[in-house]
Amino acid sequence: MKEYKVVIYQEGALSSMLLGAANSNPEKFGAFLNDNAQQGWRVITMQKDMRRLFLFWRREAYLVVMERDRS
C-alpha cells in the first residue's frame, strides 16, 4: 500500500518583493527533494507555477506530489 504527500514548494516572500520575481533556488530545491527522499518519498509528478504575491510581485512555485510505501 502507498501513501501520498502533496507539497507546494516556493521561495520566501522577501526575495520576491526585493527582486520583483523570485525563481526557486536550485540548491535549496534539491536539498528539499533529497530530504524527502531520505524519508522514503519519491516524486511522481511536479508542476511549475508562477504565483502572485500581494498585488505587484510574483514568485515561482512547484506543486510536488510524492509517494512512498506505507510502513
3-58 pLDDT tens trace: 999 999 987 665 544 554 466 778 888 999 999 999 999 999 999 887 766 666 66
- In three-state secondary structure terms, 34 is helix
Q: How many residues would you count in the chain?
A: 71
* Residue span of the structural domain in which 47 resides: 2-69
pLDDT computed for residue 22 by the predictor: 62
1/54 Cα distance (integer angstroms): 41
Grid cell for residue 27: 540548491
pLDDT computed for residue 19 by the predictor: 52
- Rounded to 5°, angle at Cα 18 from 16 and 23: 35
Q: Report how many domains make up the chain.
A: 1
- In three-state secondary structure terms, 57 is strand
- In three-state secondary structure terms, 39 is coil
